[in-house]
Amino acid sequence: MTIKGRAYIAGIFEHPARLAPDKTVAQLHAEVALGALADAGLTRDDVDGYFCSGDAPGPGPASMAEYMNLKLRHMDSTEIGAPPTSHWPRMPPKRSHSASAMWRW
Amino acid sequence: MTLAGKPRSEGMATGTAPRARDPNQPEAPWEAPYAITTANGYAMCAMRHMYEYGTTSEQLAWVKVAASHHARHNPHAMLPEVVTVEDVLNSPLIADPLHRLDCCVISDGGGAIVLVRPEIAKKLKRPLVRIIGVGEAVKHLTGGTFDLTISGAARAGPMAFAEAGVTAADIKYASIYDSFTITVIMQLEDLGFCPKGAGGKFVADGNLISGVGKLPFNTDGGGLCNNHPANRGSMTKVLEAVRQLRGEAHPAVQVKNCDLALAQGTGFQLATRHGSATMIMERE
């Protein structure tokens, strides 16, 4: 199983604020979510999955799912310092690695 | 998929104050007493890279210079002024050998992407950008046998390239996480854009500047000049890669015929343990 060609990035949004003392963190998350959906030509009602990492307030995706009133079939949250795919939907491993004990950095 | 935060308005000294860590982390007894700061750890990697490979402060500075040449076209960038190598070297030393201008900004903000299945993407009226390869790795201290000059990109990168069926030489644009200038040099080497140890020479003389060098990078200004919401660079790296693939980057920095782009990140601490992820995207 591979992600190759199975997922498209249809919408993007970057928050224009660089200093936002008057907004909550949840608000920032919701504003970028709505911005990316608008960019894609989709609405909140089209959403059936939500993924976040530790910067989303609350236990995993739960608080933000409620705050944005999302109706979800797929959700997850991971926290590993947030490189680009760290909160990616997990795909089953497609190749086996050599024994990790042999890894040397 | 969202990312957002406001460390700037919360007054967080992201890079220069020790952070509270979970005392239950197994490494805590050995590392917590030393209260390493983020800048300390990255400086240690930079110093080792200089020792092993002769990398210079001037070469590190070129990463920032390139980012600033891009940021001047971004109306939202926190630091839109073009800087020179001398400006970087003359900025205050934060953690030897890293100067203030070797460090990314602290900003509020955030970003989001919408992921859809192929059949939905083709019904929408946006350019088709698809993911063709991803890789993830955790680099850690392997019981004490480790190399400070290597990042997790050395594992994550080859996985992503193998899945995508392309090589570093095919990539037209790269978003490279830039918490510090050294972060970029190490990841470029580990991804195979140049041999290990040659990153300093690779980034010098404007080689990362769009329209000037061979590998245009972080054309939004990156974390070094644009923003670093929630103390993370992951999301914004993907956003600028998508803009490049769509042809929607600022005209002054848009890469011609950009059909293959890479986004690379590391998260947590370069000197000890960190997650690393590589994603390769293609314009269909």
What pLDDT does residue B20 have?
A: 80
Percent pLDDT > 70 in chain B is 100
Q: Which residue has the tokens 């992600």?
A: A3
B contact test, residue of A28, A37, A39, A43 with most B CBs within 10 A: A28
Q: Mind telling me how many Å the CA of B139 is from chain A's nearest CA? A: 8
Task: For chain A, give every domain's residue range.
Answer: 25-86
Q: Which residues, given as ranges, of chain A have pLDDT below 50?
A: 85-103
**How far is B244 from B258, CA to CA, in rounded Å?**
6
What pLDDT does residue A82 have?
A: 55
Q: Could you tell me the CA-to-CA distances from B273 to B26, B38, B146, B151, B255 in Å, in that order?
A: 12, 12, 11, 9, 34
B21: contact with A, CB 8 A cutoff: no
Bond preceding residue A83 cis, omega within 30 of 0: no
**How far is B98 from A92, CA to CA, in rounded Å?**
40
Specify whether the CB–CB gap between B79 and B105 falls below 8 A: yes
Mean pLDDT lowest among A11-15, B144-148, B151-155, B259-263: B144-148
- State whether B163 and A85 contact (CB < 8 Å): no
Angle CA B104–A84–B37, to nearest 5: 40
Which chain B residues touch A11 with a CB distance below 8 Å?
112-114, 126
Q: Which residue has the tokens 């990035």?
A: A9
What pLDDT does residue A89 have?
A: 43
Quote the tokens at residue B214.
Answer: 């061979």
B119: contact with A, CB 8 A cutoff: no
Tens of pLDDT, residue by residue over B177-226, are: 999 999 999 999 999 999 999 999 999 999 999 999 999 999 999 999 99
- State whether A80 and B268 contact (CB < 8 Å): yes
- The number of helix segments (H) and strand segments (E) in chain B equals 10, 8
Binding-face residues of B in 140-159 toward A, CB within 8 A: 140, 142, 145-147, 150, 152, 154-156
B52: contact with A, CB 8 A cutoff: no
- State whether B110 and A32 contact (CB < 8 Å): yes
Specify whether the CB–CB gap between B182 and B98 falls below 8 A: yes
Q: For chain B, list the domains and their CATH numbers.
A: 2-13+26-283 (3.40.47.10)
Strands of B260-268's sheet, edge to edge?
A: B2-5, B109-116, A8-14, B129-139, B274-283, B260-268, B173-176
- State whether B130 and A103 contact (CB < 8 Å): no
Q: Tell me the CB-side half-sphere exposure of residue B219, using CA atoms within 13 A.
A: 32
Q: Is the pLDDT of residue B151 over 90?
A: yes
Residue A34 — φ and ψ, nearest 5°?
Answer: -65, -35
